[in-house]
C-alpha cells in the first residue's frame, strides 16, 4: 500500500509540473499576443494620423481651387 501511495504521489507531482510548464507556455503566448496587438495598435494610430493629414490637405486644396475658380466648379 505504501508503494502505491508513493507512486501516486510521484505521478501527481509530475502532473503538477506538466501543468505548470503548460501554464508558462500559455502565459508566454499570451504575452506575445499582447505585444503584437500593441504593435498593430501603434500602426493603426499612425495610419489614422496620416489619413487625417491627407484629408486636411485635400480640404485645403479644395478651398484654394474654389477660391481660384470663384465658385465655378
17/9 Cα distance (integer angstroms): 12
pLDDT (tens digit per residue) in 19-65 = 999 999 999 999 999 999 999 999 999 999 999 999 999 999 999 99
pLDDT band at 10 (very low <50, low <70, confident <90, very high): very high
- Coil, helix or strand for 72? coil
pTM here is: 0.65
21/27 Cα distance (integer angstroms): 10
Q: What is the 3-state secondary structure (H, E, C) of 14-49?
A: HHHHHHHHHHHHHHHHHHHHHHHHHHHHHHHHHHHH
User: 60: part of which helix (H) or strand (E)?
Assistant: helix 2-69
Amino acid at each position: 500500500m505504501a508503494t502505491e501511495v508513493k507512486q501516486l504521489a510521484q505521478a501527481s507531482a509530475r502532473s503538477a509540473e506538466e501543468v505548470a510548464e503548460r501554464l508558462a507556455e500559455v502565459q508566454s503566448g499570451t504575452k506575445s499576443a499582447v505585444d503584437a496587438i500593441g504593435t498593430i495598435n501603434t500602426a493603426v494610430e499612425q495610419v489614422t494620423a496620416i489619413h487625417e493629414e491627407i484629408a486636411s490637405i485635400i480640404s485645403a486644396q479644395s478651398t484654394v481651387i474654389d477660391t481660384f475658380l470663384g465658385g465655378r466648379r
